[in-house]
Chain A
Amino acid sequence: MPKITYIEHNGKKHTIDVANGLSIMEGAIQNNIPGIDADCGGAMACATCHVYVKEEWFNNLPQKEQGEEDMLDMAFEPKKNSRLSCQILVSQELDGIIVDLPKKQT
């Protein structure tokens, strides 16, 4: 299974195995990683699963859909490498991906 690393805002690292096909958000929720709220449950309707994707990975991800960029306008302190983790599906190509979590989601 691909390994995903979540880094909390305080620097605490969590590296976990997430099954192919799940989203990075679901990986966090199922493993109780603090810092991802996912209030809407993955409907791309709330911007509370916001993550910063490490640059080297960010450019290799499939493009955002229009709706995701719109939701990111509402995220907590969005940056260039912001993504909604519910929209990133885990696959073998993402083995080793690192995402930084924002200070908070709301």
Chain B
Amino acid sequence: MINTDVVIIGAGPTGIFCAHQLGIIGLKCEIIDNLDKIGGQCIELYPDKPIYDIPAIPECTGEELTNNLIQQIKPFNFNFHLSQRVDEIKSKDGKWIIKTHKGTQMSSPNIVIAGGVGSFEPRKFTVKGCEKFEEKSIFYSIKDKEIFKNKTVAIFGGGDSALDWAIELSKNSKVILVHRRDEFRAAQSSVDKVKELNNQKKLEIFTQYQLLEVRGNASINSIEIKSESGDVKSLNVDYVLGFFGLIMNLGPILDWGLNIDKKKIPVNTKNFETNKKGIFAIGDICEYPGKLKLILSGFHEGALAARGCFKYAKPDEKLRFEFTTTSKSVKERLGIKE
């Protein structure tokens, strides 16, 4: 069991900056995120797209913003728990017990939910019956490519993941690449490569087709694909892979009694506490009159929520307002030697 002052759920810009503010006022925190990397939507949805409305930064990409924020909280040595989704929280002796799906447990008087629109999960096939083959014959990510050796694999999707795996698996498997339109949105070199492999009959491409049906008992033995014009093809395959990007899903947060309305958590604007004592919500997930879904708003919300956490973390101490420019104790926390 990890004991800490604050558990932050979500390692996007809002969550990271809240951690910074906690560090400044002398609190400890642990940060949990379901993605395997730090940065949230900034890193997952638009790492290369320029952002123009971060105060005092005329232009930066999602990745640059993330890297700068990571740099900014370095002095505090906070722990990140990545690839973990918080599955359960419960109240015990005035503290919150937080449990992730991998079994990590934490105890803390405060939780800050900076979960954006939810945790990122792979977008799945919508065809009936696909669920029962998941992790057996149907995969949305690949952990062990050896299982595909000498098998027939149908890969759906037109982006980098789909094409990279089509190229890789074509070395030892029979690969069928299926995409809903003629253009691929992957790197040009990958597009050229799959077309070359197709010409050499090392893989087969079906464009303007989508999955219609999966057939099999314990595992898949065939699928049907259908074109826009209604043409149906039956294909014998052993495995089906889908690469349709990620969706965001609130998941277990819905079950925590937080008065969620339209996927948002109502908060007060004094310290961004929710209806539950010691649970705060900041960033895209919180809702209050005038709320803007901007990164800069998330920073403000994080700064106030951090102060809100103080009284539960250190009930016997008074929080003194200090500036980083002049406070000796803040500079010590930042590791600055004078």
Contacts and interface: CB of A to CB of B under 8 A. Distances in A.
A76 B126 contact: yes
B185 A73 contact: yes
Contact of A41 (B46, B180, B293): B293
Contact of A69 (B181, B284, B293): B181
B284 A41 contact: yes
A8 B179 CA distance: 27
B126 A46 contact: no
Contact of B45 (A45, A70, A79): A45
A78 interface: yes
Categorize the interface residue count of chain B. 20 to 34
B250 to A, nearest CB: 10
Nearest to A103: B126
B247 A48 contact: yes
Interface string B187-213: 000000000000000000000001000
A101 to B, nearest CB: 15
A17 interface: no
A45 B141 CA distance: 20
B26 interface: no
A45 B123 CA distance: 14
Interface in B222-270: 228, 244-245, 247-249, 263
Contacts of B157: 73
Nearest to B157: A73
A74 B228 contact: no
B75 interface: no
A61 interface: no
Interface string A35-53: 0010111010111100000
Contact of A43 (B46, B118, B126, B245): B46
B183 interface: yes
B180 A45 contact: no
Interface in B150-184: 157-159, 179-181, 183
A80 B183 contact: no
A78 B245 CA distance: 14
B244 A40 contact: no
Contacts of A40: 41, 45, 117
Contacts of B117: 39-40, 46
A69 B185 CA distance: 9
Given A45-B45, A76-B126, A80-B228, A39 B159 contact: no
Contacts of B244: 73-74
A45 B159 contact: no
Contact of B159 (A41, A47, A70, A79): A70
A55 interface: no
A91 B185 CA distance: 30
Interface in B37-74: 41, 45-46
Contact of B181 (A73, A74, A76): A73
Contacts of B46: 43, 45
B123 A74 contact: yes
Contacts of B248: 39, 46
Nearest to B121: A106
Contacts of B158: 73
Contacts of A39: 117-118, 247-248, 263
Question: Closest 4 A-B residue pairs measured CB to CB?
Answer: A74-B245, A45-B45, A70-B185, A106-B247
30 contacts: A37-B263, A39-B117, A39-B118, A39-B247, A39-B248, A39-B263, A43-B46, A45-B41, A45-B45, A46-B45, A46-B117, A46-B247, A46-B248, A69-B183, A69-B185, A70-B185, A73-B157, A73-B179, A73-B180, A73-B181, A73-B185, A73-B245, A74-B123, A74-B245, A76-B126, A77-B210, A79-B228, A80-B228, A106-B123, A106-B247
